[in-house]
Amino acid sequence: MSVLILAVSDDAHAHAVSKHLESMGADFHTLSLEDIGKNVYLDIRFDQDGDRAVVGASEQKLLDLSKVESIWFRRPGTLRYSGLPEQWMNKLVESELQMGLVGLFRSRDCLFVNHPAKDTECSFKLVQLDRARKVGLKIPKTLVTSKPDMVREFYSECNGQVVYKLISEVSNLRLPKFEPSPGIPTLPMTDEDLPHLDQVAGAPHLFQERINKQYDIRVTAVGKKLFPVKIDSQSGRGDLDWRIDYSVDMEMVELPAQIHQACLDLLKNFGLNYGAIDLCVDENGDYVFFEVNCAGQYLWMELRIPELDISLELARLLVGESEPMLPA
């Protein structure tokens, strides 16, 4: 069988999994969307009897997609084209490349980690919260509004214990990139913000009750296997958002059976073969769900806790040695 990894050339996670695939003797190929339209071409044929699709470099055939039995949509990069004199022409080429390529990969009858349609469905935080509570996970009180008065009321209801978040992490990815990157973490709301709430009126904003945490938990799911890691977030600078401080202690833990099953049910509900679920344990010992990231990073944990073996499990999933949540 052949494995196709869609990732940019310098993606460390793709390299880590590739090393395991190589040691297994697997036939695998890595492709970045950034190469399409430059030094990589597509050759696709559909008719009544079937289809033929080849991805090639120059005149040398690179990959016959009919032989591909699993595709890992890691982080494939962005299609960019600049070979034509007018911007609208280049945008048209980018659009055609995007539709042709994504349409091609979506048409494959194989194992996806994850299928791009499933990733898109899971990218909406409000959908995540709704489905999380339906599978039995506790969620924070949440308000999404563009009405300043509703924010004031919510702030009072939560006794001033409120945080602000982006409605979707995709919004962070769409911000123009500077040095340093201007990504927006979870931010606390204070009394000083109340006089400025008229700024909320421009667009919907997401506010949540602030959870008094004991610690955070990142649950990385590969197929039907979960890798829960306890993050001692309250001992560092990232008490609200542990992504601010990766230096804190972390260790593998076991989830209570009910929480373990609820995480599996959530992933199954979204049709995901990979996901990174963010939970915390609050001051009462309850597990609280925040979000699930369809392409969440994990190497920062695996480098600290080598026995995690998430990269190995991903390789096993791609070659059919591990049970998927959503089979081909």
User: What's the pTM?
Assistant: 0.87
List the Cα angle 21/25/31 in 5-degree steps.
45
Is residue 292 within 8 Å of 270, Cβ to Cβ? yes
Tens-place pLDDT, residues 85-111: 888 887 887 788 777 777 777 778 899
* Residue whose token pair is 């973490």: 185
CATH of domain 212-318: 3.30.470.20
* Residue whose token pair is 């982006």: 166
Is residue 14 within 8 Å of 30, Cβ to Cβ? yes
Tens-place pLDDT, residues 144-158: 999 999 999 999 999
Residue boundaries of the structural domains of the chain: 2-109, 141-209, 212-318
Q: Which CATH number fits domain 141-209: 3.40.50, 3.30.1490, 3.30.2320, 1.10.730?
A: 3.30.1490
Structure tokens at 233: 């977030």
Going by C-alpha positions, the residue among 255, 250, 249, 266 that lies closest to residue 226 is: 255
CB atoms within 10 A of CB 83: 9
Q: Half-sphere exposure (CA, 13 Å, Cβ side) for 79?
A: 16
The mean pLDDT of 130-149, rounded to a whole number, is 96
Is residue 304 within 8 Å of 247, Cβ to Cβ? no
Is residue 3 within 8 Å of 69, Cβ to Cβ? yes
SS3 193: helix
For 102-123, the three-class secondary structure string (H helix, E strand, C coil) is: HHHHHCCCCEEECCHHHHHHHC
Question: What does the pLDDT read at residue 167?
Answer: 86
Tens-place pLDDT, residues 222-268: 999 999 999 988 776 666 666 666 778 899 999 999 999 999 999 99
List the Cα angle 163/207/226 in 5-degree steps.
80
Q: Is the peptide bond before 114 cis (omega within 30 degrees of 0)?
A: yes
For the ranges 44-48, 96-100, 187-191, the one whose mean pLDDT is highest: 187-191
Question: What does the pLDDT read at residue 311?
Answer: 97
Structure tokens at 85: 């004199």
The strands making up 40-47's β-sheet, listed across from edge to edge, are: 40-47, 50-57, 60-64
CA distance 318 to 18: 11
